[in-house]
Amino acid sequence: MNTSNPVYLFSDSQLLFWKSDGICFLNSVTEGLQKNSLKAAYIGASNGDLPEFYDLFVAAMENIGIINCRMIHSAFPKDDQRFLEKADIVLLSGGDVEQGWDVFVKTGIREVVVRKHEEGAILIGISAGAIQLGMCGYREEEIQEERVFDAFQFVPYIIDVHKEKSDWKNLRKTVLFKGEYTKGIGIPTGGGMIYHEDKTIEPIRSPLYEFSIKDNQTIENLLIPAKSKDS
């Protein structure tokens, strides 16, 4: 039975350390859980397992009282596999979307992440990882329809991150490629979103850019964080 928790998508690493009203945002992710017993797995395949980004993850986890962390290496050795199978929190790193996805498929990481989602683990995607948790991935350069590939699809939107300066050009194109019933969400620099179990979207820190299709053109809608609505 699927007991999935919310899925967290961050444009970049800022939300790992962001505080709202003096409280670290990540505290809300693990609210009600016994933090000293949690296992947190970091999958760095998209950035080639760069240690400096894993160090950021460890620091963010320590800030909220989680000390049992592990880098899940791209080679996916048995020790890493066992840890990932038991992890309560799974973070997919930033980097190259396609590079990371290829590793997930070749090593079996993909199947374990799917299983963790079904078991109710907390999933966090940063940058490339956020895109991978959505409907499909694509390379950073000029988008071509044949280079768009299916991703985890835990979040039923095509995701792009920190591309507001290009007016989300590649996201708009990909939504058009995928057709009338597809929607996309652009997460700007420093922002994030939560996809809840009831299929609602919660913008975090910054407005989200939602794209859909009407008359063969993309139309844009802003999704505003709750605090911004109240102010």
User: In whole angstroms, what is the distance from residue 149 CA to residue 91 CA?
Assistant: 21
Whether 30 is covered by a domain: the verdict is yes
Query: What pLDDT does residue 180 have?
Result: 78
Number of C-beta neighbours around residue 12 at 10 A = 18
Q: What is the pLDDT of residues 134-145, one digit of tens each?
A: 999 987 666 666
Phi, psi dihedral angles at 11 (to 5 degrees)? -65, -35
By the 10 Å C-beta count (0-12 exposed, 13-18 middle, 19+ buried), 194 is classed as middle
Domain that holds residue 191: 7-230
Whether 118 is covered by a domain: the verdict is yes
Phi, psi dihedral angles at 102 (to 5 degrees)? -60, -40
Query: What pLDDT does residue 167 have?
Result: 94
Number of domains in the chain: 1
Whether 2 is covered by a domain: the verdict is no
The strand pairing partners of 219, in sequence order, are 212
| Per-residue confidence band for 186, with pLDDT thresholds at 50, 70 and 90 | very high
Structure tokens at 137: 């991935």
Average pLDDT over residues 189-197: 97
Whether 1 is covered by a domain: the verdict is no
Phi, psi dihedral angles at 126 (to 5 degrees)? -110, 125
Query: What pLDDT does residue 181 have?
Result: 85
Query: What pLDDT does residue 31 have?
Result: 87
User: In whole angstroms, what is the distance from residue 65 CA to residue 171 CA?
Assistant: 37
Is 231 or 106 the better-scoring residue by pLDDT? 106
175: enclosing H helix or E strand: helix 169-178
pLDDT at 97 over 60: yes
User: In whole angstroms, what is the distance from residue 82 CA to residue 192 CA?
Assistant: 30
Whether 191 is covered by a domain: the verdict is yes
**Max CA separation in the chain (angstroms):** 53
Q: What is the pLDDT of residues 144-153, one digit of tens each?
A: 666 799 999 9
Q: Find the CATH number of the domain harbouring 166.
A: 3.40.50.880
pLDDT at 159 over 80: yes
Task: Please state whether the predicted TM-score (pTM) of the whole model is above 0.85.
Answer: yes
User: In whole angstroms, what is the distance from residue 141 CA to residue 91 CA?
Assistant: 25
Whether 46 is covered by a domain: the verdict is yes
